[in-house]
Amino acid sequence: MAVLHAWRAARVTPLGELHTPPRMTAVLVRLVVQVVLVASLWHGLYSHTDTTAGLDESQAVTYAVLAVLASRLRELDQYAGRDTVLQHMHFGTIVYWYLRPLPPERYYALRALGEQLYGLAWALGGFAVCLAFGVVEPPRSAAVAGVFAVSLLLGQWVLYYVMLVLDQMCFFTIRNNSAMLILIFVQNLLSGVYAPLWFFPDWFLTLSGFLPFQATLSVPLSIYIGRIQLADAGVQLAIQAAWVVVLALFTRWVWRQAAARVISQGG
């Protein structure tokens, strides 16, 4: 029975996407346009130079395209299912999360797992196409590919907890639309979605080093393109794992505080 509940929770958002063909078509078109534009932009930026900020053209293009593909792991239309924390807090239905046989923290984690597996299918499909057409460079070795996969997994784990903290804010602020927009922008900026972090000033790099955001994307992509060598990857993996532990303990404590604020009225 527990496995059945887990399966049903994990497939909620992917089923919503699969049962809406126009939405999937829009995602495909947007992904293709983003990849083409990003690749063209970085090829244009390197038209008069061979190396910038320690990256050559192929490294920069590969990084930028992989960042676009990785965005599919985090950009599902969760609002369409009307099952976000923000929506439940707004309509007062969050109490049902605490009446189900599945604890709310486990339900939230299973939802996120299903969403990321669905997004991973998009990302892997896009990666295979880009690799076949020479848009991105293949991994330099099997060892690099393996370490990159581990780092990407840890990065997504960190990202899950970062987004969980944002959702947990709803229990204390009721609505967090503005915080959501600000954090998504900060997350994309400091994680290297918009541009590799090495293009930013030293003070910016120092600041981002004290925050978990670059562990979500910049680190795994840096390992893939060779900016972070395998000899130095162990330290980065340890930092990612440390953020997972810290954020896991923090969010677990916040779940307990949030449960004390949920009130059921009526019978």
What does the pLDDT look like over 81-136, one tens digit per residue?
A: 567 777 777 777 777 777 777 888 888 888 888 888 888 888 999 999 999 999 99
Question: What is the model's pLDDT at position 166?
Answer: 83
Question: What is the model's pLDDT at position 74?
Answer: 61
Label residue 253 by pLDDT band (50, 70, 90).
Answer: very high
Percent of the chain at pLDDT > 70 equals: 89
Label residue 6 by pLDDT band (50, 70, 90).
Answer: low
Q: Is the pLDDT of residue 267 over 50?
A: no
The pLDDT mean for the chain works out to 84
Our measurement of the distance from residue 132's CA atom to the centroid of its chain's CA atoms, rounded to an integer in Å, reads 25
C-beta of residue 39 within 8 angstroms of C-beta of residue 64: yes
Question: What is the model's pLDDT at position 266?
Answer: 45
Q: Is the pLDDT of residue 5 over 60?
A: no
Q: Is the pLDDT of residue 243 over 90?
A: yes
Q: What is the dihedral of CA 37, 117, 193, 189, to 10 degrees?
A: 140
Q: Nearest to residue 71, comparing CAs of 228, 216, 222?
A: 216
Mean pLDDT, range 39-45, rounded to an integer: 90
Question: What is the model's pLDDT at position 247?
Answer: 96
Mean pLDDT, range 42-58, rounded to an integer: 84
Name the pTM for this structure. Answer: 0.87
**Residue 225: count of CB within 10 angstroms of its CB:** 23
Mean pLDDT, range 251-257, rounded to an integer: 90
